[in-house]
Structure 1
Amino acid sequence: MSRIGKLAITIPDSVDINYTNSEITVKGKFGTLQNQLPESIVVTEDNGKLTVKMKEQKKDSRALHGLYRTLINNMIIGVSKQFDLTLILKGVGYRAAVQGQEIVLSLGYSHPVKIVIPNNITVEVVQNTTINLKSCDKEALGLFAANIRAWRLPEPYKGKGILYKDEKIIRKAGKSGK
């Protein structure tokens, strides 16, 4: 049995959970999230706590036990508190702006990079070089941040690129003399 899967999930008062044998729906202040459950996973609720259990002790159900407990916990946290990520643009002339439903990035290319913002993600640009992303869906937030970051990955020689907030770039010396 998974150590993470055994842990009970505390349900806040502001969150409403509906589950059937194959689907779980979580509603809260910041949105609604749904997820499909495999047949080997069972969700039960008692005294404001949610537990995720396995029907049988099989190899594949043991592998999914901790995963689905974490996914359900992330859904509950997302609809009650929201997840946030911060990206920092480092480089001469690098800047960002939000125009309607797009984020426009100037990253040293001959053209501005335009990325469509998904409906469930809010984007805020601070001082042209800091991008704050917020969403109740942790998976969609991470994927959108990775798509933005893919336009200019951090490089080890000058440290330029799109970085996560507390990311440290290990710098290389570059060409050295004889």
Structure 2
Amino acid sequence: MSLLIRASRESDISAIAAIYAHAVIHGTASFELDPPEKAEMARRRAVLMEGDFPYLVAEDDGAVLGYAYAGPYRPRPAYRSTVEDSIYIAPQAQRRGIGKLLLTALISESEERDFRLMVAVIGDEQSQGSIGVHRALGFEDAGVLKGVGYKHGRWLSTVLMQKTLGRGLDEPPSRPLPL
């Protein structure tokens, strides 16, 4: 395997949309119930790219096996230095360490952009793989929201974790206020 972690491109949208569709239909990482069309996935990516948020893919022999991005945690201006991470891995590539590699690169890219805190909002307390990867990379438990979503015939909780990034929280943010 010659895995490459790189910035995403518009040409990756088909693979990204397919990976996400599988996660929406079969998993609990996303609380969406219907997978968005490719055009919507492209629109979402474009918004993040315009906001200077990192959006990465893991590629092996030209095939996208996973993707990760950091996006705004909340839309209010005071949250501008906090990002929320999202990571999705193709079903045939899961449990091979790709998620950890993507998250490691995403943390680095977020620090380079001077984000100060990364929040993980993990769908389902049973997502031990995702929880373990975040914990291994220094995320701390921040809480659990019990039964906040209903999908696949059951109530799902959300696990919240957080990690201080880069220069940390000891000085004011340097990121400008959004327009």
Q: What TM-score, normalized to structure 2? A: 0.24
Q: Max radius of gyration: which structure?
A: 1
Higher strand proportion: 1
Where is the helix percentage greater, Structure 1 or Structure 2?
2
